[in-house]
Structure formats: C-alpha cells, structure tokens
Amino acid sequence: MILLDGKKTSNEIKEEIAKKVELLKQNGKKTPHLAAVIVGENGASLTYVNAKVKACEKVGFESTLINLPEDTTEEKLLDVIRDLNTNDEIDGFIVQLPLPKHIDEHKVTLAISPAKDVDGFHPENLGRMVLDLPTFLPATPYGIVQLLDRYNIETSGKSCVVIGRSHIVGSPMSILMSRNNKVGNCTVTLTHSRTKNLIDYTKNADIIIVALGKTEFLTGEMVKDGVVVVDVGITRVKDDTKKSGFKLLGDVKFDEVAAKASYITPVPGGVGPMTIASLLMNTLQAVETK
C-alpha cells in the first residue's frame, strides 16, 4: 500500500507556486492577492480559512481575511462580494461555506464574479468544466486530480465509484473522472443516499472517491484488493486525549481498507491540504490569465 500523501504533494505544489510568484515579482508584475470571507464563528470553518491565509503567506501571495459577524445580513454579504468583484487589487476570493441559515448560498455563489471565483463554484465555471474549456476547477476535485496525477495513478478505462453527489465535491468529481484527460477516462458511477446495494458497486471499483461525511463508512469488506481510495471526509470527533479536544476522522475505515488498497489517502494529510493547494493554483491562474 502506498500512501497518497497530500501534505507532501501540496508542499511541492506550494514550492512551485512560490517560484512563479518570485518570477512575477522580479518582472514587475502584480503579486497574486487572495481574499477570504467568513461569516460567523464556526470553528472548523475558521480553521480552514486560517490555513488558507497561512498558505498564501507561504507562497508569497497577498491575502485579506474578511471576518463578518454571524448576524450579517444577506444584503451586506452581497455588498462585500460586489466590492471584491470590482476591487482590482484582489485577484480571486472565496466565501467560506457553510453560511449561516439566513443566507442563501446559491445567491452568494452567483454573485461572485466568475473571473475571481477561485473556488470554482460559479455555474459559469462549472459549465466550462463540463465543456473542457479553461476554467477554475472546483478546489477539492482539482486537488484530487492533482494528487492522482502526481502519483501517476492509471485511471484510463478504470471503474471509478464516487460516493456522495454534493455540488462542491461528488458531482464535479464524477465529471472530472470521466473526462477525456490524463486523469480521467474512467467509467464512473456516482452513488448517493438513495443508491441501493452500494457494496455491489464499491466491491467492483478500481478507484473509489468517498465524500459523504459519515465517519469510517467505507469498510474493508466493501472494497476489492488493489483498489485506489480517496477519502474526502473530514469529521471532528470529540477526543479528550487531544489538546484541541477533538480528532479528525475520514469517511473510510482506514486500517481495514488500507490493508487491501494499492493507494489510499490519509485523514488528515490527504485531500485537505490538496484543496488548499488548488486554491493557490487557481489564484495564480487568475493573475496569469488576466
């Protein structure tokens, strides 16, 4: 079994980006600038946003964190987005999800200028992805594609099962894995909460991408020998032995599945860091394609 080390791979990507940023600066070009908007005090979201800002520093980007209170109105958030859309200093920005219940996520996603949508959630960018046109790929699926690519995992002609059909992970992932690309050309089955006899699909899969948010859901008996497994799930579980008071669990029962897998991502240190690397890649692309 080989660990698909997202931490190591994301650090390699960050080094590559840092070199490109250095070149941009030497050539008198603009330093890439990513802004992140967060609404409220959700602990996990704050952790993710802080990690994104820290990653910007590491590669030499400028970054701006806009922290809005939980009771921010939808209109106020849309105003902030409109300002970011027209602010020439900002090359790309994200609005950290989930948002408080009183704010319509779809309205927010639609308000972000597609040219600055470095999370790749805007319908225009998703549409461009489907049509194989240059675009910002959604950050988590893009990170997974990068990870599979950099480990030279053969995907062509393979059977790929995606578990979970969210707009930000499962659905775009299923499209990317079926595209005619180096990482792609799979025969994809997109499974979800209404799928019957899931094991019939997973047991025959060469590649399984798990994104449903249920801890240790994929077990050893559900997979075949030699399978490639990508675990997207991140759930905080109370753990008093940890300083933070919690540990992170994925959607895969790691020990059981790793014993049968040829490649597998750990949690933490797998897909999470790759998502951040993708965000940086998209932000650099926003500057380079201006």
- Where in the sequence numbering do the catalytic residues fall? 52, 96, 119
Rounded CA gap, 52 and 49, in Å?
5
| Site membership for ligand NAD, residue 163 (CB under 6 A) | yes
| Site membership for ligand NAD, residue 253 (CB under 6 A) | no
Q: Among 42, 181, 185, 195, indicate the residue that binds ligand NAD (CB under 6 A).
A: 195
Site for ligand NAD in 52-81 (CB under 6 A): none
Nearer to ligand NAD, 81 or 277 (CB): 277
Q: Which DSSP string do the residues of 174-190 spell out, in sequence order?
A: HHHHHSSSSS---EEEE
Residues whose CB is less than 8 angstroms from the CB of residue 180 and which lie 6 or more positions away in sequence, other chains included: 132
| Site membership for ligand NAD, residue 179 (CB under 6 A) | no
Q: Are strands 92-95 and 187-191 parallel, antiparallel or unpaired?
A: unpaired
Nearer to ligand NAD, 87 or 166 (CB): 166
Backbone angles phi, psi at 163, to 5 degrees: -105, 120
CB of residue 242 vs ligand NAD: minimum separation in angstroms?
Answer: 18
Residue 277: CB atoms within 10 Å: 27
Q: Which spans in 73-213 are helix H?
A: 74-86, 105-111, 123-130, 139-150, 170-178, 198-202
Nearer to ligand NAD, 76 or 203 (CB): 203
CB of residue 112 vs ligand NAD: minimum separation in angstroms?
Answer: 18
Site for ligand NAD in 95-124 (CB under 6 A): none
Site for ligand NAD in 119-158 (CB under 6 A): 140
| Site membership for ligand NAD, residue 189 (CB under 6 A) | no
Q: How far is CA 91 from the centre of its chain?
A: 19
| Site membership for ligand NAD, residue 208 (CB under 6 A) | no
CB of residue 143 vs ligand NAD: minimum separation in angstroms?
Answer: 7
| Site membership for ligand NAD, residue 35 (CB under 6 A) | no
How many helices (DSSP H) and strands (DSSP E) are in the chain? 10, 11
Backbone angles phi, psi at 258, to 5 degrees: -60, -30
| Site membership for ligand NAD, residue 279 (CB under 6 A) | no
Nearer to ligand NAD, 92 or 170 (CB): 170
| Site membership for ligand NAD, residue 235 (CB under 6 A) | yes
Q: Among 233, 253, 281, 286, indicate the residue that binds ligand NAD (CB under 6 A).
A: 233
Q: Which residue has the tokens 């490639």?
A: 228
Residues whose CB is less than 8 angstroms from the CB of residue 251 and which lie 6 or more positions away in sequence, other chains included: 163, 210, 211, 212, 213, 214, 215, 216, 217, 218, 231, 232, 233, 235
Q: How many residues bind ligand NAD (CB under 6 A)?
A: 23
Q: Among 67, 85, 166, 178, indicate the residue that binds ligand NAD (CB under 6 A).
A: 166
Q: Which spans in the chain are helix H?
A: 6-26, 43-59, 74-86, 105-111, 123-130, 139-150, 170-178, 198-202, 254-258, 271-288
| Site membership for ligand NAD, residue 169 (CB under 6 A) | yes
What residues line the site for ligand NAD (CB under 6 A)?
A: 140, 163-166, 168-170, 191-193, 195, 198, 211-213, 232-235, 271-272, 275
